[in-house]
Amino acid sequence: MSPKIPGAPAPTPPPVDEPTEPQSPLPPKDDQQGPETVSATGERTGAEQDVRAQRGAHLTTAQGARLRDTDHSLKAGPRGPTLLQDHHLREKITHFDHERIPERVVHARGAAAHGVFESYGNAGNLTCAKFLAEKTTVPVFTRFSTVVGSRGSADAVRDTRGFATKMYTDEGTFDLVGNNIPVFFIQDGIKFPDIVHAAKPHPDREIPQAQSAHDTFWDFVSLHTEAQAHVMWQMSDRAIPRSYRTMEGFGVHTFRLVNAEGQSSLVKFHWKPKLGVHSVLWEEAQLINGADPDFHRRDLADAIESGAYPQWELGVQVFPDSEEEVFEGIDLLDPTKLVPEELAPVKPIGMLTLNANPKNYFAETEQVAFHPGHLVPGIEVTNDPLLQARLFSYIDTQITRLGGPNFSQIPINRPHAPVNDMQRDGFHQSAVHTGVAPYRPNSLDGGCPFHAGDGEAALIDFPEAVQEAVKLRESPASFEDHYSQVTQFFRSLTPTEQDHVIQAYTFELGKCYEPAIQERQVQRLANIDADLCAAVATGLGLSIPDPEQAPRDSEPSAALSQIGGTWPVDGRIIGIAVDQGTDATMVADLAERIDGAGMVPLIIAPTAGTLSDGTPIQRTYLTARSVEFDAVVFATAEAAPAVDAVHGRDAKAGDPVGRGAVDPRLVLLAAEIFRHAKAVLFTEETPVPEAAGIDRSAPGVLVGAPAERLDDLVGLLGQHRVWDRFA
């Protein structure tokens, strides 16, 4: 008899191919039990527990009417706008929007900051939006977030990150609600509940938290192949950023800009971090989530507090507003596609600087309400079917989260422009309105409020032609290519980054219990790249399948890779490991030099307190871990085990390497820094590198007086990592 292993496949395993014959919902596992069936007043009913579960084999509305399509919104033609009369879309999205109270359904875990956006004043030919057309400065509030995890999850998870910025302009509030990945999982907003339900923890055990390494996620994305583009980005290093400060942002959708002459252009928004795009390794992420689950929010707040203000340049890719809305063969209304920057360069139009932390997390970060329909004159939406659904979904979900329709009156959400909207009453109404005629036309209030005249900035819907069409649920044929850009992204990465992608797929799929799901996703990889497929299949112990369609060659895009180039080192964290024999004066001088270079020095000593000259100690051998440092200077004279280097006090001290000669925690610190491809500096006399098995001549390993080698260390940090260490 086989042992009962936790996590075994279900009693009825799923097939590799999508089932086509209707059947009733599958039964629960043997170890699962629900609550007793009792009435609202506690009376036992005697009914079976599954009486409250789903019934029937067919998909229905909430009222029980069977449905024949839940993949496409009802649109005016395949490329037309989504119709408000789509009762199934509205029911599905509305129910989804109200599934969590009060935590956000997605983007629940976030961190935010105040700042300013300074326009370069060079976008007047594109838009009449004053804050972009003129050289001006507007206040902003930016919130970063993970998508899948709850408020209590960890920061450094493999996930998409939200990048939402509220700009308080004189013409109204503009919200740019984007992600750190330029493509999305789905093409049509009606599928948003599906992808989130699949990515969230399993509903039976509520695990795993904030992770995509589980069966329901891979079951969905391997069947719904338009998700493969986003999945490839999520398996790349982009999904585990080093910091919000080193994270790119994208508007995802195509927007329409209209200038003062009424001329229109289509654009995609980009946020380019001043510090460059930089990520952590997967092992680092796992260590971070144990050592400091608040790593990203702490990094953001600490950087602002220390004066290393994070900055991102806002840019736009500009495309002709043609009837086809296609650029170089790429459908601009397909949110699973990007336009390579080699085909459409990003034009810089302004700079975002975050310079102040919130005073109260709940009042600001938690209650801020973003909405892609918060627009100003000169910026409009397009018929992207994902964006169209978001226009309904965002405002709908705020009504539940924030207790009614007056969420715009919460201080963090209040516009910085005069408001006279004729909207009255409702939950949490904090305005005390005057007058008796909140309607138009009126004479009792002197006709107020009045419409804006032609010469005054006002929201004007661009007169876009809507083609004659029939109502239907389908997408245009150009949406059917689900693989070519996935191949392009993978082949644009350096070999180092490709190795990380292979590791990510192998790790994530290795966490799935169902072999059929692993096999199905590996089949999808065969359609993307043969080498990727072979490596992942081998790691999972599966046979290598033939592709269903041959991967399509395309020109690689250098902008898709994170490796290469040199970046500022502002706000980088440098550890300085010392012991009783280290010259305190030298340490104080080094810390001052590091601070002068715009970085943050943290002294690591055997115990807390101060050095002999009174210099404060920020970390101890017990509290320090490699993942919080971008580089470490080992200025230890002897590095002998400290008094607390006892396994019973610190498990890290139980490492037998270097026992009796070098404190094992210094050995561990050096070894982790080295294998994570970070720069490291050793003084001549320290015995740490030999104890850790590190070759002093290895790439990125500096030896000598710290003050003399600091410039070399800064040069290595500007490249983020020393990847040729493992070439």
Q: Any catalytic annotation for residue 98?
A: no
pLDDT in tens, 531-568: 999 999 999 999 999 999 999 988 999 999 999 999 99
- Between 139 and 5, name the one with better pLDDT: 139
- What is the token pair recorded at 426? 């409702």
Choose the catalytic residue: 95, 98, 107, 230. 107
Mean pLDDT of the region 563-583: 94
* Distance, CA of 578 to CA of 702 (rounded, Å): 17
Query: Residue 576: enclosing H or E segment and its boundaries?
Result: strand 573-577
Q: What is the pLDDT of residue 675?
A: 96
Please say if the pLDDT value at position 524 is more than 50: yes
* Distance, CA of 324 to CA of 291 (rounded, Å): 51
Q: What percent of the chain has pLDDT over 90?
A: 72
Q: What is the pLDDT of residue 1?
A: 47
Please say if the pLDDT value at position 180 is more than 80: yes
* Distance, CA of 538 to CA of 545 (rounded, Å): 11
Q: Residue 271 carries which side chain, given as an amino acid letter?
A: W
Q: Any catalytic annotation for residue 406?
A: no
pLDDT in tens, 336-364: 999 999 999 999 999 999 999 999 898 89
Mean pLDDT of the region 386-410: 92
* Distance, CA of 115 to CA of 140 (rounded, Å): 5
Determine the 3-state secondary structure of 472 from DSSP.
strand
Q: What torsion do the CA atoms of 537, 542, 543, 546 make, to the nearest 10 degrees?
A: -50
Residue 99, CA distances (Å) to 95, 542, 565, 701 in order:
7, 38, 44, 52
At 602, give phi and psi (nearest 5°). -125, 120
Q: Residue 548 carries which side chain, given as an amino acid letter?
A: E
Choose the catalytic residue: 179, 180, 357, 413. 179
Residue with structure tokens 């950087």? 303
Mean pLDDT of the region 186-208: 94
Q: Average the pLDDT over each of 7-21, 504-518, 571-585 and give the range with the smallest value.
A: 7-21
Please say if the pLDDT value at position 3 is more than 60: no
Query: Residue 703: enclosing H or E segment and its boundaries?
Result: strand 701-703
pLDDT-based confidence at residue 42 (cuts at 50, 70, 90): low
Mean pLDDT of the region 515-542: 98
Q: What is the pLDDT of residue 4?
A: 55
What number of other Cβ atoms are within 10 A of residue 109's Cβ? 27
* Distance, CA of 186 to CA of 390 (rounded, Å): 12
pLDDT in tens, 69-118: 999 999 999 999 999 899 999 999 998 888 766 889 999 999 999 999 99
Please say if the pLDDT value at position 671 is more than 90: yes
Mean pLDDT of the region 608-614: 90
* Distance, CA of 354 to CA of 628 (rounded, Å): 22
Measured in whole angstroms, how far is the alpha carbon of residue 540 from the centre of its chain? 27
* Distance, CA of 58 to CA of 19 (rounded, Å): 12
Q: Residue 384 carries which side chain, given as an amino acid letter?
A: D
Please say if the pLDDT value at position 33 is more than 70: no
Q: What is the pLDDT of residue 697?
A: 96
* Distance, CA of 158 to CA of 236 (rounded, Å): 9
Q: Which long-range contacts (CB under 8 A, 24 or more apart) does 665-669 make?
A: 665/621, 665/622, 665/624, 666/577, 666/621, 666/634, 666/636, 666/639, 666/691, 667/691, 667/692, 668/626, 669/575, 669/577, 669/604, 669/624, 669/625, 669/626, 669/632
Determine the 3-state secondary structure of 306 from DSSP.
coil
- What is the token pair recorded at 278? 């930089």
Q: Average the pLDDT over each of 437-451, 574-588, 655-669 and give the range with the smallest value.
A: 655-669
